[in-house]
Structure 1
Amino acid sequence: MSALVDLQIHNDKVVCGQHKNEICSECHQSFVDINDLTRHLKATNGQVPPPGAVLPLRSQQIAKMREDGNVHFRAQRHQEAITAYTNAINIAFDRPLWEPTGVAREELAVLLCNRSAAYIARKEWVNAYVDAEGVIELKRPWSKGHFRLGKALLGMGRIEEAIEALKLGLEFDSDSAEIQKALNEALAALAEEDQ
């Protein structure tokens, strides 16, 4: 039998009644999910869309920010690109809970991949690596994620791991010239290291 939990509303959030925490380690309770749902429902002003509905305005905002990031990236304004992609990522992460998760997964995979490329251009290898890992988690068979991971690992000096990541990318897209080129660079770096 589960124990009763003392709840209260504090600063417009559900919290542990005894300790006033949204996440209470003493009571072993978390009210984050219910507070997120409440926040999303309040934003609809009582007009909750049917299950599976996607709010077009949010999708348009994300697409606009992604395109802004792409424009900055092509102009080699990499920090501005990172900012635009990050803003789009934050909006995608904040999709209402009733929307299909596949929409956010697809958006996030592309945005993280693009931001990883911008981090690579700035030689911010760890950030590029983290984003590439996120891409692979969201969309494993997409070769771009493995390419970004390989480039980040190569930049970090983890050559053997870079080779493995790039080889896996080629398994998903054997015709990719950019992955093959990066693999050749990594193999050359490994050969040079062994001398």
Structure 2
Amino acid sequence: MASEIDIYNQYPIYMDPATKALSLQANNLPPSQATTIANELKELNALHRSLLTLETANIPPPPLPLNPKLSAQISKLRDSANTAYRKTNYDEALTLYKYAIDMALARPGWEPVAVARDELAGLYANRAQAYMAKQAWPEALVDAKASVDSKPVGNVKAWWRIAKSLAEMGRYEEARRFLQKSIDIEGRESEGGKELLGLLDEVERALVKA
């Protein structure tokens, strides 16, 4: 048996061309049903009239597709972190990268996803390099993988850092699998592809020795 939600009834509704008010134009409905529909239309008409009284200035503008202040703050943190890294202040660099990553992750949902992904790919890859400078290989591996998850194509440095971190931990077979996958994605003839091939050669030599 069909429930009420499955039943569709079409009623003759009239809209006044001048006021846009809705009314029920039917005399053959049961009184209780006609009264219910009339009351619902009355509430709808009241809502319509109240909306018409609003001033245009009170309607908030649509959100910006991209918040320039947030982008500038993230860029400033990234540049400061890069400067700290070049000065071998690795702990400071890690802290600044963390702040930048947290801000990039907090971007509103209406902003283009590609922007956040590009930001995060670079930030995670840079933080992975800072962890590598401290020989914190597991942490570097996690960040490099996060970078590749954000941007798998055109991200040679992150792929390289994944494999290098795995190799430093003696996980040569995993390193080789990641390198083979990255070379398929990035291509063998590019400059980045040649770097990946060079590391693959090192990993394969280590596998032979192992």
Report SS of the residue matched to 2:173.
helix
For residue 7 of structure 2, what is the aligned residue in structure 1? none
Alignment of 1:110-189 (within 5 A): 110-141=122-153, 142-171=155-184, 172-174=186-188, 175=190, 176=192, 177-189=194-206
1:65 is displaced (CA, Å) by 0.9
> How many residues are treated as equivalent by the alignment?
148
2-structure distance, mates of 1:181, 1:48: 56
- Any gaps of 5 or more consecutive residues in structure 2? 1-57
Per the alignment, do residues 48 and 91 of structure 1 end up closer, same or farther by CA in structure 2, a change over 3 Å counting? farther
The Cα shift of 1:163 comes to: 1.3
Deviation by residue 1:133-182 (Cα, 9 ceiling, x = unmatched): 21121111232221111011112211011112122222214232432332
The equivalent residue for 2:77 is 65
CA displacement at 1:53 relative to structure 2: 1.3
| Cα RMSD (Å) | 2.0
Is the contact between residue 68 and residue 84 of structure 1 (CA under 8 Å) also seen in structure 2? Answer: yes
Partner Cα separation in structure 2 for residue 173 and residue 117 of structure 1:
23
- What's the TM-score, normalizing by structure 1? 0.69
When residues 121 and 139 of structure 1 are mapped into structure 2, their CA distance, relative to the original with a 3 A threshold, is: same
CA gap of 1:78–1:185, structure 2 versus 1, over 3 A, is farther
Which of 65, 69, 72 is matched with 1:53 structurally? 65
- Paired letter, 1:113: A
Instruction: For 1:179, give the aligned amino acid.
Output: L
Question: Any conservation in 2 of the 1:120–1:151 contact (CA below 8 Å)?
Answer: no
Instruction: State how far apart, in whole Å, the 2-side matches of 1:60 and 1:121 are.
Output: 27
User: What 5-or-longer segments of structure 1 have no aligned partner?
Assistant: 1-45
* TM-score w.r.t. length of structure 2: 0.64
- Residue 81, structure 1, aligned to residue 93, structure 2: yes
Q: CA deviation at 1:47?
A: 9.2
